[in-house]
Structure 1
């Protein structure tokens, strides 16, 4: 009789957005920084809070609440920026996400993660990797490659007039 080895738990960083707790896979997290004033960039989607200099690299910072269709985050004492690696191809892009507070790293086994409900939440279904019960509350596990899709965010940053001109130029050629 073959013995199956139990799956190793995966680690997730839990954080606060408003009254809700979310988590993302810790393997994508590079560092956590105190919030400091960012440089705004014109003609960006509302969820792009600004950019910051991270040791010589310009890193865009998104307001995760706005990206998830919630009201903008208020900058509070515990607000911070979580730096993640995003994208599927090398070199991967660093992106910061503004959150209300970071809690802790938690370990979850695959058996602890349930599929996201088909109704009752205000997030796009492709943003949710699953749901888990943790410390008497449910947390949503985010699929950060979807939430931080560089291709999707780039397409949202182009002003419609520029897109129309580009499409017209392609049609004329």
Structure 2
């Protein structure tokens, strides 16, 4: 998220992943797709699902569950592929993430976010930029660049 004052807010796409709600800056989102065939990549890291074709472009797909130490799950009728843009080594790169469910784009006040604690979390805290509340739910704002770098 860009440098803002505490009274500002950001529009975020709210996603369900492994029983948690993740907030992704809506400006990063390029497409939301129904699940498509994924081509395996031999030797890829455990969170890389494989590659998909999006309008003639090869896009790597990631499952955040293994990256956050969650159990991998099968796709359901609510599963979506969310295509986002990330900055990898100074280059804008399009990647996809698997979401169990896409909720909505919500206005998230920055004052509702805080730094992730380094202890007591069940996921890897270095992959979390902020934690906070949305409606009555606890949310995680992942550090997208760190997840993919």
Partner of 1:21: 21
How far off is 1:6 after superposition? 7.3
> TM-score scaled by structure 1?
0.76
Equivalences, count: 144
Higher strand share: 2
Q: Which structure 2 residues correspond to residues 68-147 of structure 1 after superposition, within 5 A?
A: 68-88=68-88, 89-90=90-91, 92-147=92-147
CA contact (8 A) 1:24 1:143 kept: no
How far off is 1:104 after superposition? 0.8
> TM-score scaled by structure 2?
0.88
How far off is 1:124 after superposition? 2.0
- Gap regions ≥5 residues in structure 2: none
CA contact (8 A) 1:66 1:73 kept: no
Task: Specify which structure has the bigger relative contact order, considering alpha-carbon pairs within 8 angstroms and separated by 6 or more residues.
Answer: 2
CA distance in structure 2 between the aligned counterparts of 1:110 and 1:21, rounded to whole angstroms: 16
How far off is 1:8 after superposition? 3.0
How far off is 1:71 after superposition? 1.2
How far off is 1:119 after superposition? 2.3
CA contact (8 A) 1:65 1:99 kept: no
**1:38 counterpart SS class:** coil
CA contact (8 A) 1:130 1:142 kept: yes
- Which structure has the greater CA radius of gyration? 1
